[in-house]
Structure 1
């Protein structure tokens, strides 16, 4: 876990990236497809072969219309790491192109990570879970507010907040969202349900639309009325914390006290969480 303190970017990522995250910052040049390789900061999951086949067909007909954003590979002259456009690069290989248009930017690791996330987020190349994880990494790494982050990627603060809340869903539900069995609308409808995993399975099995999923979540059995006011307060606290932190949060009462549990998926997520909780450490 890193001990360095990230810069505070009150004006959003543009203060850090400058022109690095925009293809218009520099004229494209051609590089051999063999000189490129996937970068270590790719926020997307595995790319479906069917998706690549469709893009390859388009590239055969029209060429690569959007240059690939790359940086020189550290310690390996003549090789380049892809920051944005891995899907175009892979499809170009399927289309048997020898060269592809690229924008070369000399970026350090942290700036390359931010540029990769911003490029994918702005191009809407990510599913909802990948998008939420991207927001979480940017907030944790750079200390951005949700409002500043939204401005940086062209989204509203409420969109960023609602997307981050999806990380509070159980992992099986997040998997359904990642592979397209559920939409983000379905997932948001299940966020406050008492058993989102069971309800998600019903939504998928019955092919319910978002309105039907909302109705199903509202009809799910909930605690009795004697505990309702207290439970409503607890749910509001949990929702607020999940929105602010972008992780799963559990709150369990016990008498006058209770237990607050914060769940993290890996050490990078823990590192980002600690940066938020202890900004001056």
Structure 2
């Protein structure tokens, strides 16, 4: 642990701090912890998280803990003397500010972890993404939103590099986020991502603009209440009668399912018999195969089958 001097926000004094190393993925930061006034902290204008930051539940948590439990990660502001810019923790800062604006002055001083220098844009984004990937919100609602925001900040190649994914994977996340923006008026706005994921999970050939409009409308009207119900569209949309009914104003998923035609019968004959035999062999459990290893009767049957298939191929080829 090393000592460093940093010009603090109070009266421009130079104060000594003990630095510690903090590894966040491939980035290693040198930081120290202290408490600062809310007004010395400013948000990051290139914040990856979109949407409103005020959260009544988080405000209740701050009150219950008598302050912020997890320090904000901040950096010395490169342009504003005596200020700190947020790397991670903008929601905590916003909701503490709301409480102070309500006259709760006891929440004015907040704990922070300060880096020993301003970070580059790439370092700041990598650190933020690493931190958020450790949280449950990442898979629940954030990764598509962040992908969309990073494309705006860095372009597709840069965003894919920061996230450690291919451009093709990035495109899918962006498309899901753009689709989620169509689902409005939900009780839980973050649930829009779940609806979009299910809808984008269908074949692209099936998800036409008319289908999207119908799904969005019926979700808004609470006629589809569970996102997993959208999986039934894989069966409904290829059927012309069921599809037309679903797209109509009066149609919904359950009523469309009732209008499905009979399932087409599989074509019989030699090809069907061979397919059945191959599928049966594919599903033999490995434990059964282990028991049959070296069995002369089974090996004899396989030899006979190979000879028969060779003869069959030869007959059909000529």
Tell me what 1:188 maps to. 197
Residue 167 to residue 211, structure 1, CA distance change in 2 (3 Å): closer
Secondary structure of 2:182 counterpart: helix
Superposition pairs for residues 1-281 of structure 1, below 5 Å?
A: 14-15=25-26, 18-20=27-29, 26-47=31-52, 49=54, 51=55, 53-62=56-65, 63-93=67-97, 94=99, 95-96=104-105, 97-105=107-115, 106-125=118-137, 127-128=141-142, 129-134=144-149, 136=151, 140-141=157-158, 144=161, 148-149=164-165, 163-167=173-177, 169=179, 171-173=181-183, 180=189, 182-191=191-200, 192=202, 193-194=207-208, 195-205=211-221, 206-216=223-233, 218-220=235-237
Structure 1 distance, partners of 2:134, 2:170, is 13
SS in 1 for 2:216: helix
Question: Against the structure 1 CA distance between its residues 118 and 198, is the aligned structure 2 distance closer, same or farther, given a 3 Å change threshold?
Answer: farther
Question: Residue in 2 aligned with 1:272?
Answer: none
Give the number of the structure with larger relative contact order, counting CA–CA contacts within 8 Å between residues 6 or more apart. 1
Q: 1:27 to 1:181 in 2, by over 3 A?
A: closer
CA-to-aligned-CA distance 1:85-143 (integer Å, 9 cap, x gap): 01111222215312111111231233223333433443345634414425656763265
SS at match of 1:26: strand
Shift of 1:74: 1.5
Structure 1: tracts of 5 or more residues without a match: 1-12, 151-157, 224-281
CA RMSD of aligned residues (A): 3.8
Q: Name the CA shift for 1:145/1:61 in 2 (closer, same or farther; >3 Å).
A: closer
Query: So what's the TM-score if we normalise by structure 2?
Result: 0.50
Taking the aligned partners of 1:125 and 1:108, their CA distance within structure 2 comes to 25
1:66 is paired with a residue whose SS is coil
Contact kept in structure 2, 1:176 and 1:182, CA below 8 Å: no
CA 1:197 to 1:111, structure 2 compared with 1: closer, same or farther past 3 Å?
farther
Q: How many residues get paired?
A: 196
Contact 1:71 1:83 in 2 (8 A): yes
| Compared CA separation, residues 98 and 169, structure 1 to 2 (3 A) | closer
Q: 1:171 to 1:185 in 2, by over 3 A?
A: closer
Give the 3-state SS of the residue equivalent to 2:28 in structure 1: coil
CA contact (8 A) 1:177 1:184 kept: no
The answer on whether the counterparts of 1:33 and 1:89 sit within 8 Å (CA) in structure 2 is: yes
- SS of match in other structure, 1:211: helix
